[in-house]
Structure 1
């Protein structure tokens, strides 16, 4: 089940968030981030945040927000995290598909991922299967914990109709 995330959900999600960020393999968030800072970043700054729950266990989450202001506010940005034990079970796909539906309902015409770590091959392949294109490469933009400096991709998908 995917639904809007609340503070209690985030507390249950915190171990997932903390592990993902401290691994320094996919997110450019401060590894020493506190629970309160993380809640603010993931749940208060975005337009909405959602949680994926199965049998009472929080297995993943995403946020959605405008990627830019003013004339660029028709493009949204999302971030996704899935618990390690739940990876490979279609949860990231479900979250991404849900986020695209929500984006359309919120009136967004496109979705852009600003910094997909190039060596995160599972995510890159999934986003491509779901219609996202790599529209840019930023050389050595991410300091990976194991691999050192690696590239990031800008990925994009138009959500509007051909008439837009």
Structure 2
């Protein structure tokens, strides 16, 4: 597996798993009914952001990450990132590799830290992975995320100093 900058043509390969993950409504605050075009607008970033894909030796897109300043202006020294792995490639280290890549990017770009603004509390696999990559939960907004069954769970704010 290797990670490279995403091209506009990569969106067609990212879209199927992006659509499935967002439509499930369990792990991202994106609208569940995103169109191809609107999803692309959310995920495929221009500078100063960056979008990458993790690809197998045969060119299969396994997952993707986007990274960007967390805020504008006086908050632009903190990075943020989001990750999606094709469900059929889960458990192969794709998420960890993407996280490590985004952290390397943030350090190289001079960011002072990386912050995740909305990690769904019930997404225990992601929370455990981000913790193992050096992130801490610095707060949880109670009942900030509505699950597909109508119940509510918290959104963690996670952070790592770089």
Give the TM-score normalised by the residue count of structure 2: 0.94
Residue 104 of structure 1: SS of its match in structure 2?
helix
Instruction: Tell me what 2:12 maps to.
Output: 11
2:59 alignment partner, one of 47, 56, 61: 56
Cα deviation, 1:42-63, whole Å, max 9, x if unaligned, reads 1136611000111221110000
> Structure 2: how far apart are the matches of 1:17 and 1:126?
19
Alpha-carbon distance, 1:70 to partner: 1.7
Alpha-carbon distance, 1:105 to partner: 1.3
Unaligned runs of 5+ in 1: 160-164
Residue 80 of structure 1: SS of its match in structure 2?
strand
Instruction: Tell me what 1:90 maps to.
Output: 93
Give the TM-score normalised by the residue count of structure 1: 0.93
CA RMSD of aligned residues (A): 1.2
Q: What is the aligned residue count?
A: 159
Alpha-carbon distance, 1:146 to partner: 3.6
Matched ranges for 1:11-30 at <5 A: 11-30=12-31
Instruction: Tell me what 1:158 maps to.
Output: 161
Unaligned runs of 5+ in 2: none
Moved over 6 A (4+): none
Residue 14 of structure 2: SS of its match in structure 1?
helix
> Structure 2: how far apart are the matches of 1:148 and 1:45?
35
Instruction: Tell me what 1:31 maps to.
Output: 32
